[in-house]
């Protein structure tokens, strides 16, 4: 598959954007794909809390994957690309469970949910526990 110059520029812009985030790293042993995602592995750093893992707006599948890594469902070095199907196809019990947890956390006010884009992020406002 040929990748045009514009696609490569978009990939490079994306890699530059996430380079300083600390939780993503470029896999030197793999070529850059047209979407960039195949080359990136999310890393759970020691001492990270769930509020750090879900600090930014994330698509529902990526948020569910990160939750799974945080909970130990997936190994820390698990690539999203090898498990993404369980979040994209109904009927995968593990994917459904992690997605349900995100929805329940949003209902409880722990997470914010962008209904239009189906994204989640940690709610920075204190939660009323009374």
- Residue 122: pLDDT band by 50, 70, 90 thresholds? very high
Using CA atoms, how far apart are residues 15 and 39, in angstroms rounded to an integer? 10
- Residue 7: pLDDT band by 50, 70, 90 thresholds? low
Q: Mean pLDDT, the chain, as a whole number?
A: 76
Percent of the chain clearing pLDDT 90 (strictly above):
50
Cα-based distances in Å from 41 to 6, 75, 86: 24, 12, 17
Global model pTM greater than 0.85: no
Query: Tell me: the pLDDT tens digits for 26-62?
Result: 333 333 333 334 434 567 777 889 999 999 999 999 9
Q: What is the domain partition of the chain in residue ranges?
A: 1-43, 46-130
Phi and psi dihedrals of 85, rounded to 5?
A: -60, -30
């Amino acid at each position: 598959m040929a990748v045009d110059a514009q696609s490569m520029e978009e990939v490079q812009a994306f890699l530059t954007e996430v380079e300083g985030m600390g939780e993503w790293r470029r896999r030197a042993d793999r070529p850059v794909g047209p979407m960039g995602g195949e080359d990136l592995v999310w890393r759970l750093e020691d001492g990270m809390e769930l509020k750090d893992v879900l600090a930014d707006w994330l698509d529902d599948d990526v948020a569910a994957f990160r939750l799974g890594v945080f909970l130990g469902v997936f190994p820390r070095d698990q690539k999203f690309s090898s498990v993404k199907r369980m979040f994209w196809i109904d009927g995968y019990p593990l994917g459904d469970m992690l997605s349900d947890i995100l929805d329940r956390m949003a209902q409880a006010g722990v997470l914010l949910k962008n209904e239009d884009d189906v994204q989640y992020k940690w709610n920075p406002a204190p939660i009323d526990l009374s």
